[in-house]
Amino acid sequence: MGDEATRREFLQYSLGTTAVLSAVAAWAGFAQDASVVITENADGILVTDTTRCVGCRRCELACTEYNDGRSQPARARIRVARNLNFGPRGQRLGVGHSLGQFGNFRVVQDTCLQCPHPVPCASACPHDAIVADDKTRARVVDRARCKGCMMCLRACPWEMIVFDAEAGKADKCFLCRGEPECAAACPAQALRYLPWRDLTRAVPIRQVALPIAEARRTGRCSPCHDVGRKIP
């Protein structure tokens, strides 16, 4: 009986200590300087017209030349690909746009949707590195804060976060501070910069976003909504 009572007392003490430490951690999370929480929608958004796109990919070149000083379409914040349905992984390009068994071969442009709050990539970032631009309120990566953990890449349902392996930093479309270079470079006027609208429910997702928001963010947002909800 003595040994059993000792074990019981130890477990009770351990549970009590854990509860106290959890409470302290939660208090510390709320007491520290509040991170930037994006609540306002962006001023504008890039809207695509697949019936006009000719697949020249000048938009990708314009994006990287303007933002990175180099021609590297693989790092572009806009992605252009033909809607095919071949390969061992099945349909990969133009997810949700396919018509028929093999796709409709239409050229599809993928752009950042400048998600409304809660922004998946911002909610997932443990370093508060994704914030609202002070001019356009576009969601932008603060490279000084970014640690290259790539959690935002896993969190974006449309896979629109890019990663600079050389710098070890994530990046995304920030609408070129209100004057998107990709839209200006498009010869077919297949890209337009328009006042923001919520397209997150209209554009098919490319990957299931994981509910990886930090507990302190969830706690601050829970009175209004569930940050961990899956985006349809």
Query: What pLDDT score does 185 carry?
Result: 96
The whole-model pTM stands at 0.70
Q: Does residue 106 lie in a domain region?
A: yes
Query: What pLDDT score does 208 carry?
Result: 77
Q: Does residue 128 lie in a domain region?
A: yes
- What span, in angstroms and rounded, lies between the C-alpha atoms of 60 and 180? 11
Query: What pLDDT score does 17 carry?
Result: 45
- What span, in angstroms and rounded, lies between the C-alpha atoms of 156 and 74? 17
Query: What pLDDT score does 32 carry?
Result: 44
Q: Does residue 98 lie in a domain region?
A: yes
Query: What pLDDT score does 106 carry?
Result: 73
Distances (CA, A) of 189 to 46, 50, 54, 114: 12, 10, 10, 21
Here the CATH number for the domain that contains residue 157 is 3.30.70.20
Number of structural domains in the chain: 1
Name the H helices within the chain.
2-31, 58-68, 120-124, 151-155, 181-185, 215-221
The answer to whether 78 and 63 are in contact (CB under 8 A) is yes
Written as tens digits, the pLDDT of the chain (232 aa) is: 555 555 555 545 454 444 434 333 333 343 344 455 688 999 999 999 988 999 999 999 999 999 999 888 889 999 998 766 544 344 444 444 444 455 566 788 899 999 998 899 999 999 999 999 999 999 999 999 999 999 999 999 999 999 999 999 999 999 999 999 999 999 999 999 999 999 998 888 888 776 655 555 555 555 555 544 444 3
Q: Does residue 211 lie in a domain region?
A: yes
Enclosing domain of residue 157:
44-221
Q: Does residue 10 lie in a domain region?
A: no
Q: Does residue 35 lie in a domain region?
A: no
Rg (CA), the chain: 22
Q: Does residue 48 lie in a domain region?
A: yes
Query: What pLDDT score does 108 carry?
Result: 83
Q: Does residue 226 lie in a domain region?
A: no
SS3 breakdown of the chain: % helix, strand, coil, rounded to 5?
30, 15, 55
